Structure 1
Amino acid sequence: MTGYADDLALAHRLADAADALSTARFRALDLRVESKPDLTPVSDADTAVEREIRALLATHRPGDGLLGEEYGEQPATGPDGRRWIVDPIDGTKNFVRGVPVWATLIALLEGDRAVLGLVSAPALGRRWWAARGTGAFAGPDLASGAPIRVSGVTTLADASFCYSSLTGWEEAGRLEPVLQIMRDAWRSRAYGDFYGYMLLAEGALDVMVEPELSLWDVAALVPIVTEAGGTFTDLAGRPALAGDGSGELSAIASNGPLHDDILARLGRPAAR
Structure 2
Amino acid sequence: MSSSPVRAEPADLELALRIADAADAVTMARFDAADLDVQLKPDHSHVTEADLATERAIRGILAAERPDDGVYGEEFGVTGDSTRQWIIDPIDGTANYLKGIPMWATLIALAVDGVPTVGVVAQPALGRRWWGATGHGAWTNSPAGDRRIRVSDVSDVSEASVSFQSIGQWRDYGRLDALERVTSAAWRDRGYGDAWPYMLLAEGRLEFVAEFDVKRYDIAALIPIVREAGGEFTDIDGGDGLDALSSLATNGRLHRPFLDLIHDRLPETP
**Which TM bucket (shorter chain)?**
over 0.9
Identical-pair percentage: 48
SS at match of 2:195: helix
Cα deviation code 1:209-259 (max 9, x no counterpart) = 012200000000000000000000111211142x4xxxx421110001111
Number of the residue aligned with 1:96: 98
* Corresponding residue for residue 152 of structure 2: 151
> Contact between 2:164 and 2:191, CA under 8 Å: does it hold in 1?
yes
Amino acid at match of 2:135: G
Corresponding residue for 1:249?
245
Match of 1:17 in 2: 22
1:1-272 equivalence runs, <5 A: 4-76=9-81, 81-139=83-141, 144-241=145-242, 243=243, 248-267=244-263
Whole-Å Cα distance in 2 between the matches of residues 133 and 86 of structure 1?
22
- TM-score, with structure 1 as normaliser: 0.91
Name the CA distance, whole Å, in 2 between partners of 1:55 and 1:227: 29
Per the alignment, in what secondary structure is the counterpart of residue 38 of structure 1? coil
Give the equivalent residue in structure 1 for 2:3: none
Deviation at 1:140, TM superposition (A): 6.0
- Deviations along 1:186-225, one digit per CA (max 9) or x if unpaired, are 1101111000100000001110001220000000000000
Please give the alpha-carbon distance, in whole angstroms, between the structure 2 residues aligned to 1:263 and 1:252.
9
CA contact (8 A) 1:235 1:267 kept: no
- Cα contact 1:236–1:263 (8 A) shared by 2: yes
CA offsets 1:46-98 (integer angstroms, 9 cap, x no match): 00000000000000000000000000000235xxx201000000000111111
Instruction: State the alpha-carbon separation in 1 of the partners of residues 220 and 97 from structure 2.
Output: 21
Tell whether the 8 Å contact from 2:70 to 2:86 is kept in structure 1 after alignment. Answer: yes
Amino acid at match of 1:200: L
Q: Which amino acid aligns with 2:24?
A: D
User: Helix, strand or coil for the counterpart of 1:192?
Assistant: coil
Contact 2:8 2:135 in 1 (8 A): no
Structure 2: unaligned runs, 5 residues or longer: 1-6, 265-270
- Report if the CA contact (8 A) 2:178-2:263 is conserved: no
Q: Structure 1: give runs of 5+ residues left out of the alignment.
A: none
> What's the RMSD between the two structures over aligned residues?
1.7
**Once the two structures are superposed, what CA deviation does each residue of 1:22-58 show, in whole Å capped at 9, x if it has no partner?**
0111100110111111101111100000000000000
How many pairs does the alignment contain?
A: 258
State the AA in 1 paired with 2:169.
G
Matches of 1:163 and 1:38, distance apart in 2:
23
Listed one character per residue, the Cα deviations across residues 97-156 of structure 1 (whole Å, up to 9, x for unaligned) are 111010000000011210100000001111000111111000169xx4210000011111
Quote the offset at 1:183 in angstroms: 1.7
Query: Does 180-189 or 82-91 show the bigger shift?
Result: 180-189
Letter in 2 for 1:251: S
- The Cα shift of 1:3 comes to 5.2
CA distance in 2, matches of 1:175, 1:20: 40
Secondary structure at the counterpart of residue 76 of structure 1: coil
Q: CA deviation at 1:185?
A: 1.0
